[in-house]
Amino acid sequence: MKITKKIYDSPFITYTLIVIMLFVYLLMSLNGGSENPQTLVKFGALYPPAIMNGEWWRLITPIFIHIGITHLILNLVTIYFIGIIIEREFGHFKYLLIFIISGILGNLTSLSFTSGLSAGASTSIFGLFGSFFMVYESYKENTYIRNTAKSFFYFLAFNFIYDLFIPGIDLWGHIGGIIAGFLISYVVGLKEINKKIRIKRLISTFVLIAVIIILLKVSFLTF
- Structural domain boundaries enclosing 103: 2-222
What are the tens digits of pLDDT across the range 17-46?
Answer: 999 999 999 999 999 898 899 999 999 999
Q: Which of 148, 146, 103 is nearest to 127 (CA)?
A: 103
118: phi then psi, degrees, rounded to nearest 5: -150, 160
pLDDT at position 151? 83
Buried b (16+ CB within 10 A) or exposed e, 78-105: bbeebbbbbbebbbbebbbbbbbbbbbb
Helix, strand, or coil here: 133? helix
What are the tens digits of pLDDT across the range 94-115?
Answer: 999 999 999 999 999 999 888 8
What are the DSSP calls for 30-83, one per residue? HTT-TT-HHHHHHHT-B-HHHHHTT-GGGGTGGGG--SSHHHHHHHHHHHHHHH
- For the chain, what's the residue count? 223
**Cα–Cα distance between 205 and 189 in angstroms, integer?**
11
pLDDT at position 196? 66
Please provide the average confidence, as pLDDT, over all residues in the chain.
87
Name the amino acid, one letter, at 160.
F
Buried b (16+ CB within 10 A) or exposed e, 173-182: bbbbbbbbbb
Cα distances (angstroms) measured from residue 108 to each of 37, 52, 147, 200, 211:
20, 12, 32, 24, 10
pLDDT at position 1? 57
Query: Exactly one of 102, 124, 131, 174 is catalytic; which is it?
Result: 174
Cβ neighbors of 106 (< 8 A, separation 6 or more) are 122, 123, 124, 126, 127, 173, 174, 175, 176, 177, 180
Question: Per-residue confidence of the chain (223 residues) as pLDDT tens digits?
Answer: 566 666 667 899 999 999 999 999 999 999 989 889 999 999 999 999 999 888 999 999 999 999 999 889 999 999 999 999 999 989 999 999 999 999 999 999 999 888 888 999 999 999 999 999 998 888 777 888 888 888 888 878 777 776 665 555 778 899 999 999 999 999 998 766 556 677 888 899 999 999 999 998 888 766 5
Give the number of domains in the chain.
1
Query: Exactly one of 122, 131, 204, 219 is catalytic; which is it?
Result: 122
46: phi then psi, degrees, rounded to nearest 5: -70, 110
Residue 174 annotated among the catalytic residues of the structure: yes
The DSSP output letter for 208 is: H
**Cα–Cα distance between 120 and 65 in angstroms, integer?**
5
Residue 122 annotated among the catalytic residues of the structure: yes
What is the Cα 183 distance to its own chain's centre? Answer: 12
Domain CATH code at residue 59: 1.20.1540.10
What global pTM score does this model have? 0.90
